[in-house]
């Protein structure tokens, strides 16, 4: 069966537009409660959220829906997505629910679920939840209704967990870091993790007001962090997205260190210590430079479809422990059950500490190919793989690039976008071809919209 609501990362959309409405989320909580309820009376779930203003509304709606299904809620307030995954395991909860739209602007929101092991829900469970959404909502008798409580020490628990993922003796005293929390869910955890490990931390993006999450800050907007690192003569900067599952870094020269480079640094460090279970899993968007650098280090590399869900599936299938995306999703299964920005940054810091190399030196051990990504906004979804004009243009570009480049066209799983990616050896050529193909996609989208 095809899923109607769940995408690659839960259910996501514009607040107030179906299905991201209070009444739908109420019923979603009820549906999830019915599917996840445990006959052994272990009927409790965790609910966390990021800092966007609509989180209050959806937290209440989920709580009410779960209560109607007889399931207890434990509310944690603003917490990073990977913290919910971790705490779901430690609290032995039936599931963890995150109210977040990750790196999207404040007027988007979404719901994603973790199973008791801290992993994304299996497809059959998501389909079972969707089947309940087609049924009339009912309410348990009063004696069987669920209750809601708050967990006050969730942040402290997660901070200690993050610190436990690096050697206990390691001390980052003397290291100057700038941290950008995107006015998101890491604002009250990330700075403390690094400070308690001895680093001198300057924090930005730590004043959420419900509307400023991801706004010109965080992992998707690095200009402010780059400037701050240079102004403060910091050793490096670390940026998270709104829910803390992405991380990007900036070296002491103000140069960006993306998810591919972070993954390479961690993989090479693990391999040098014989602590690596191969292969490394990237995605169709991973830079060719990552693939070549890993191969030169004797490390196998495979590509999954775009999305941390697919990276995770291939890791489990291949028996690997490290994977990620150039956008900053980095999964260290030998440390956590899901992608975690704080934990990934800590692993890079360990390699800097042990090798004595700067972040700039470590990232330059991987030679990136010029890669240009153009997002084409569309009004109506259509299949680019079946569009003759687009495919003809794609083939012409592939012929021009030859064996030294790649062309990728894909629809975003979370936004109304077609992503056009061109990779090659010459920067000017790559930029020209990416814009050329993006124009073709844009024109085709308009024709499709008129025809529909």
Q: Is 140 left (phi over 0), alpha (psi -120 to 50) or beta?
A: beta
CA quadruple 204, 251, 197, 240: dihedral sign: positive
Q: Coil, helix or strand for 74? A: strand
Q: Is 323 exposed, middle or buried (0-12, 13-18, 19+ CB in 10 A)?
A: buried
Using CA atoms, how far residue 1 sits from 12, 123, 125, 132, in Å, is 20, 10, 12, 14
Catalytic residue check, 102: yes
Q: Which two tokens stand for residue 327?
A: 């956008």
Catalytic residue among 54, 102, 203, 286: 102
Q: Going by C-beta distance under 8 Å and a sequence separation of 6 or more, which residues neighbour residue 234?
A: 176, 177, 178, 202, 228, 252
Q: Which two tokens stand for residue 309?
A: 């869900």
- Can you tell me the distance from the alpha carbon of 253 to that of 275, in angstroms, rounded to the nearest whole number? 31
Of 83, 165, 226, 184, nearest to 348 (Cα)? 165
Burial profile 140-159: b = 16 or more Cβ within 10 angstroms, e = fewer: beeeebbebeebeebbebbb
Active site positions, annotated: 102
């Amino acid at each position: 069966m095809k899923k109607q609501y769940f995408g690659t990362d839960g259910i996501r959309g514009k607040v107030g537009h179906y299905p991201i409405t209070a009444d739908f989320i109420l019923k979603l909580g009820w549906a999830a409660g019915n599917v996840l309820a445990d006959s052994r009376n272990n009927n409790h779930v965790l609910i966390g959220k990021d800092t966007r203003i609509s989180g209050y509304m959806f937290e209440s709606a989920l709580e009410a829906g779960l209560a109607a299904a007889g399931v207890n809620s434990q509310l944690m307030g603003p917490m990073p997505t990977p913290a919910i995954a971790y705490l779901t395991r430690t609290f032995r909860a039936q599931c963890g629910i995150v109210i977040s739209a990750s790196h999207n602007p404040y007027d988007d929101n979404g719901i994603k679920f973790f199973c008791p092991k801290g992993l994304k829900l299996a497809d059959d469970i998501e389909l079972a939840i969707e089947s309940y959404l087609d049924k009339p909502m009912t309410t348990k008798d009063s004696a069987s209704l669920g209750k809601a409580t708050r967990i006050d020490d969730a942040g402290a628990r997660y901070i200690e967990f993050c610190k436990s993922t690096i050697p206990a003796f390691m001390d980052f005293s003397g290291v100057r870091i700038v941290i950008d929390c995107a006015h998101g869910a890491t604002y009250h955890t990330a700075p403390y993790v690094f400070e308690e490990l001895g680093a001198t931390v300057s924090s930005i993006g730590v004043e959420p007001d419900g509307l400023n999450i991801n706004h010109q800050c965080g992992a998707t907007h690095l200009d402010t962090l780059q400037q701050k690192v240079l102004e403060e003569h910091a050793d490096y900067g670390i940026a998270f997205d709104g829910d803390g599952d992405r991380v990007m870094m900036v070296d002491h020269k103000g140069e960006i260190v993306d998810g591919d480079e972070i993954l390479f640094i961690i993989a090479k460090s693990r391999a040098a210590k014989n602590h690596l279970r191969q292969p490394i899993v990237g995605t169709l968007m991973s830079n060719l430079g990552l693939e070549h650098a890993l191969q030169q280090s004797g490390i196998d590399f495979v590509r999954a479809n775009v999305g941390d869900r697919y990276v995770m599936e291939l890791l489990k299938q291949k028996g690997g422990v490290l994977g990620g995306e150039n956008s900053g999703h980095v999964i260290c299964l030998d440390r956590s059950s899901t992608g975690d920005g704080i934990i990934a940054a800590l692993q890079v810091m360990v390699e800097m500490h042990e090798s004595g190399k700067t972040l700039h030196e470590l990232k330059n051990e991987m030679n990136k190919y010029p890669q240009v990504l153009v997002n084409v906004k569309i009004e109506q979804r259509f299949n680019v793989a079946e569009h003759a004009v687009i495919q003809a243009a794609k083939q012409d570009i592939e012929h021009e690039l030859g064996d030294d480049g790649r062309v990728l066209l894909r629809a975003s799983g979370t936004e109304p976008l077609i992503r056009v990616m061109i990779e090659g050896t010459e920067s000017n050529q790559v930029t020209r071809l990416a814009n050329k193909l993006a124009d073709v996609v844009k024109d085709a989208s308009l024709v499709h919209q008129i025809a529909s």
